[in-house]
């Protein structure tokens, strides 16, 4: 009888340079700092910060994508997501499908096809981390997990933007729980279009990371912060505890398996 000693496979993947890691950390820190400032502002300052949050958040995720998977991955992800989001949103504004009847205010800046330029970048900001965590835990159901995750994230976003007048809805039927100003069709629209986006990104984008690549810490922080800030913001700053608990419970249920997988590691 012999005893075999198990030697774990060494991770031969190198880490990015301290300079690039500092750049990624800085961009992430600015994006989060802007979100922290959000509930403390009003008027024009709030409008500017609202737009800046999206661009800096999208910038952080695009930078992570490039450092982890390469420039081709990042370019494909940002360009396809931008045009996909612009196409879906322009149809939504023109036809009320699939989200429901809504319109954007002029406060979000320059528009293309009645859609503010910043809106596709919000899709860019969230699609990369959702794809990463879906691939980590969802197996053959990456597209379904991605749609659910995007719809869950929007449960925090939409009421915040409606309350600040960035866009408005016409509610004719059922509404999202604890969000009477937002139709339930919006959640189903996010589920449908989110599944489509993540399915296509999953098909187009490689899984393999660069030999010298960024860790998933930026994704971990972004997702955890989205959950934490959504709950704390609605509880203590926006005074909407229903949204904090309802949206928080759904987003936590979607993302906790990922954090357990990150903590325990792959089998």
3-state DSSP assignment of residue 218: helix
Enumerate the domain spans of the chain: 15-264
> What number of other Cβ atoms are within 10 A of residue 260's Cβ?
11
Are 167 and 102 a contacting pair, CB within 8 Å? Answer: yes
- Give pLDDT tens digits for 26-69: 999 999 999 999 999 999 999 999 999 999 999 999 999 999 99
Beta strands 179-183 and 175-176, pairing class: antiparallel
Global confidence as pTM: 0.93
Phi-psi region of 213 (alpha: psi -120 to 50; beta: other; left: phi over 0): beta
CA–CA gap between residue 77 and residue 16 (Å, rounded)? 21
- Give pLDDT tens digits for 215-247: 999 999 999 999 999 999 999 999 999 999 999
CA–CA gap between residue 224 and residue 218 (Å, rounded)? 10
Contacts within 8 Å (CB) and 24+ apart, 108-113? 108/50, 108/51, 108/166, 108/167, 109/51, 112/86, 113/86
């Amino acid at each position: 009888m012999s005893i075999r000693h198990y030697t774990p496979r060494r991770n031969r993947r190198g880490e990015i340079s301290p300079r690039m890691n500092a750049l990624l950390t800085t961009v992430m820190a600015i994006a989060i700092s802007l979100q922290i400032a959000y509930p403390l502002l009003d008027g024009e300052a709030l409008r500017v910060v609202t737009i800046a949050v999206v661009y800096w958040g999208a910038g952080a995720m695009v930078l992570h994508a490039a450092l982890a998977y390469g420039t081709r991955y990042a370019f494909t992800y940002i360009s396809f997501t931008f045009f996909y989001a612009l196409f879906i949103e322009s149809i939504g504004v023109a036809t009320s499908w699939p989200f429901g009847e809504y319109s954007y205010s002029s406060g979000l800046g320059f528009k293309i096809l009645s859609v503010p330029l910043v809106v596709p970048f919000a899709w860019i900001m969230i699609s990369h981390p959702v794809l990463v965590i879906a691939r980590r835990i969802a197996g053959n159901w990456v597209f379904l997990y991605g749609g659910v995750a995007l719809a869950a994230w929007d449960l925090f976003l939409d009421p915040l933007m409606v309350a600040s007048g960035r866009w408005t809805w016409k509610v004719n039927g059922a509404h999202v729980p604890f969000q009477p100003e937002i139709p339930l069709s919006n959640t189903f629209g996010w589920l449908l279009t989110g599944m489509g986006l993540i399915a296509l990104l999953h098909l187009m984008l490689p899984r393999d990371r660069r030999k010298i690549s960024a860790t998933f810490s930026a994704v971990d922080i972004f997702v955890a912060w989205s959950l934490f800030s959504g709950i704390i913001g609605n509880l203590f700053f926006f005074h909407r505890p229903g949204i904090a608990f309802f949206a928080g419970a759904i987003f936590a249920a979607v993302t906790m398996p990922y954090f357990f997988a990150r903590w325990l590691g792959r089998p």
